[in-house]
């Protein structure tokens, strides 16, 4: 078994030396277990949090432990009544090529419905994050303006398209002309703004002539700064992620104290700012799988994957994810 373990806790941006590739023997599955061959590994921004010892909503990966992660795998040996050799499953096996599972993390996939790798993206955790956060907290109504950044990525691409399915106007923010063109021309965003082109505040104001009713927060940083003045009365802000800050060290920010201004806007504009971790909405998963599979089949929901070959390339790809080097849902092809 080839596996990547956490070698050191990163300071700021993760480095290749924070990871270590190991080769170890793998046990035979015991009664009630299956042996999995990992086909695809999902790389997601939350993994930066797991590398840190700081208190968060999930326990950190310890030094020397296999990096956690969602995977798509093939059952290659089974002593579990519900899974047979050859089954394709979604699992939570981490950054490795083989894994033992007791079945509790497994969900059988039907490869005739969609390519199995989509279980890590548009039909998996990121797609569900978009669906549950947008519909439960954002509640976009027809004609309203919904803004989302990282718009070509796994979560943001689904947010914009689901907003449009609900009749809202979707405005995307993405880094660079290629991602912007993709969001507009392939995903159908009504307007797209390039946050790397400068003048973000002005560009965004032009793209949102009626203000912003729903801001799906993926990044924080300068994007939040540009969005904030444009928020309408009763705007809803599902706080999903703050990727611009994941590599920040725990030092106090310099500059003026912006908290009183934020609190004043929450009060005077009656804003709803609500954080969430997708698993909170787990009871909505069956509805999501059903609806998203239909939307995918009918072409209303499109997606892009950024596939990197080889488990050994996962650390470099992950470092790039935090800087916007990925273009679409980042997946490592481990086997397949
Ligand atoms: P993406 O596929 O969107 O990849 C990350 C993207 O973030 C990059 O490609 C880049 O896009 C953008 N980005 C990085 N740094 C910055 C920055 N400083 N300013 C603006 N944009 C930046 O990742 P995901 O779709 O998987 O995740 C999107 C967000 O959703 C993350 O914050 C993640 O943590 C969060 N999330 C939250 C969950 C929850 O349960 N709350 C579950 C899943 C994800 P570009 O080049 O276009 O700027």
Q: Report residue 215 as tokens.
A: 């801001």
The pLDDT of residue 336: 72
Let me know whether 106 and 237 are in one domain. Answer: no
- DSSP secondary structure letter of residue 50: H
In a domain, 298, yes or no: no
Q: What integer is the mean pLDDT of 41-45?
A: 98
| Cα distance between residue 151 and residue 18, in whole Å | 29
The end-to-end CA distance of the chain, in Å, is 16
Q: 249 pLDDT band (50/70/90 cuts)? A: confident
| Residue 227: CATH number of its domain | 3.40.50.720
In a domain, 67, yes or no: yes
The pLDDT of residue 254: 75
Q: Which atom of ligand 1 is closest in space to residue 328's alpha carbon?
A: 2
Task: Tell me the β-bridge partners of 6.
Answer: 19
pLDDT, tens digit (0-9, with 9 covering 90-100), for 165-183: 999 999 999 999 999 999 9
Over 294-326, what HEC string results?
HHHHHCCCCCCEEEEECHHHHHHHHHHHCCCCC
Question: How many Å lie between the centroid of ligand 1 and the Cα of residue 244?
Answer: 8
Q: Where are the alpha helices (DSSP H) in 22-96?
A: 47-50
H or E stretch covering 222? helix 221-227
Question: How many Å lie between the centroid of ligand 1 and the Cα of residue 127?
Answer: 13
Question: How many Å lie between the centroid of ligand 1 and the Cα of residue 26?
Answer: 34
Let me know whether 313 and 200 are in one domain. Answer: no
Q: How many CB atoms lie within 10 A of CB 263?
A: 11
Ligand 1 proximal residues by C-beta, below 6 Å: 44-46, 126, 129, 149-150, 152-156, 174-175, 179, 195, 218-219, 221, 223, 240-241, 243-244, 276-278, 321, 324, 326, 329
pLDDT, tens digit (0-9, with 9 covering 90-100), for 261-300: 999 999 999 999 999 999 999 999 999 999 999 999 999 9
Question: How many Å lie between the centroid of ligand 1 and the Cα of residue 324?
Answer: 8
Let me know whether 318 and 175 are in one domain. Answer: no
| Residue having the nearest C-alpha atom to atom 16 of ligand 1 | 244
Let me know whether 64 and 50 are in one domain. Answer: yes
In a domain, 299, yes or no: no
| Cα distance between residue 93 and residue 115, in whole Å | 19
Question: How many Å lie between the centroid of ligand 1 and the Cα of residue 254?
Answer: 24
Tokens 């009749």 found at = 167
Question: How many Å lie between the centroid of ligand 1 and the Cα of residue 200?
Answer: 18
| Residue 79: CATH number of its domain | 3.90.180.10
Domain count, the chain: 2
Let me know whether 112 and 221 are in one domain. Answer: no
pLDDT, tens digit (0-9, with 9 covering 90-100), for 46-93: 999 999 999 999 999 999 999 999 999 999 999 999 999 999 999 999
Let me know whether 105 and 20 are in one domain. Answer: yes
The pLDDT of residue 256: 85
Question: How many Å lie between the centroid of ligand 1 and the Cα of residue 27?
Answer: 36
Q: Quote the domain boundaries for residue 97.
A: 2-120+304-333
Tokens 């106090």 found at = 252
Let me know whether 67 and 196 are in one domain. Answer: no
The Cβ-side half-sphere exposure at 34, using a 13 Å CA radius, reads 29
Q: Which atom of ligand 1 is closest in space to residue 44's alpha carbon?
A: 26
Q: How many CB atoms lie within 10 A of CB 34?
A: 25
Instruction: Please state, for a pLDDT cut of 70, what percent of the chain lies above it.
Output: 99
Residue 320 Ramachandran class (φ > 0 left, ψ -120 to 50 alpha, else beta): alpha
pLDDT, tens digit (0-9, with 9 covering 90-100), for 214-243: 999 999 999 999 999 999 999 999 999 999
Let me know whether 277 and 131 are in one domain. Answer: yes
Q: Report residue 232 as tokens.
A: 């309408």
Q: Which atom of ligand 1 is closest in space to residue 152's alpha carbon?
A: 47
Which of 68, 324, 325 is the best mutation target for the ligand 1 pocket, counting ligand atoms within 8 Å of the beta carbon and taking the most?
Answer: 324
Q: How many CB atoms lie within 10 A of CB 118?
A: 23
Strands (E) across the chain are located at 2-6, 19-23, 34-42, 71-78, 88-91, 98-101, 107-108, 145-149, 169-174, 191-194, 212-216, 231-239, 272-275, 305-309, 329-333
Q: What integer is the mean pLDDT of 229-258?
A: 90
The pLDDT of residue 255: 81
Q: Are strands 329-333 and 191-194 parallel, antiparallel or unpaired?
A: unpaired
Q: Which atom of ligand 1 is closest in space to residue 242's alpha carbon?
A: 32
In a domain, 219, yes or no: yes
Let me know whether 323 and 272 are in one domain. Answer: no
């Amino acid at each position: 078994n080839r596996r990547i373990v956490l070698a050191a806790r990163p300071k700021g941006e993760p480095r290749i030396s924070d990871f270590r590739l190991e080769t170890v023997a793998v046990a035979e599955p015991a009664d009630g277990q299956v042996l999995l061959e990992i086909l695809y590994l999902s790389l997601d921004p939350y993994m930066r949090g797991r590398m840190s010892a700081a208190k968060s909503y999930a326990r950190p990966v310890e030094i020397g432990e296999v990096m956690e992660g969602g995977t798509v795998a093939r059952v290659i040996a089974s002593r579990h009544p519900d899974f047979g050799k050859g089954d394709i499953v979604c699992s939570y096996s981490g950054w490795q090529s083989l894994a033992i599972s007791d079945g509790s993390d497994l969900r059988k996939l039907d490869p005739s419905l969609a390519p199995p790798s989509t279980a890590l993206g548009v039909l998996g955790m990121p797609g569900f994050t978009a669906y549950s956060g947008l519909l439960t907290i954002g509640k976009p109504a027809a004609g309203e303006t919904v803004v989302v950044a990282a718009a070509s990525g796994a979560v943001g691409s689904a947010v914009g398209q689901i907003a449009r399915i609900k009749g809202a106007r979707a405005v995307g923010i993405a880094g660079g002309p290629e991602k912007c063109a993709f969001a507009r021309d392939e995903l159908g965003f009504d307007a797209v703004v390039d946050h790397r082109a400068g003048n973000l505040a002005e560009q965004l104001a032009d793209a949102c002539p009626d203000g912003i009713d729903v801001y799906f927060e993926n990044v924080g940083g300068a994007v939040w700064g540009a969005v904030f003045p444009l928020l309408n009365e009763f705007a809803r802000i599902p706080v999903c992620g703050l990727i611009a800050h994941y590599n920040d060290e725990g030092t106090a920010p310099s500059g003026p104290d912006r908290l009183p201004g934020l609190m004043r806007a929450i009060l005077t504009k009656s804003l709803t700012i609500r954080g969430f971790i997708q698993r909170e909405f787990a009871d909505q998963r069956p509805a999501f799988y059903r609806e998203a599979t239909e939307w995918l089949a009918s072409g209303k929901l499109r997606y892009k994957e950024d596939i990197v070959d080889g488990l050994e390339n996962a650390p470099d790809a992950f470092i790039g994810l935090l800087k916007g080097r990925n273009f679409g849902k980042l997946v490592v092809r481990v086997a397949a």
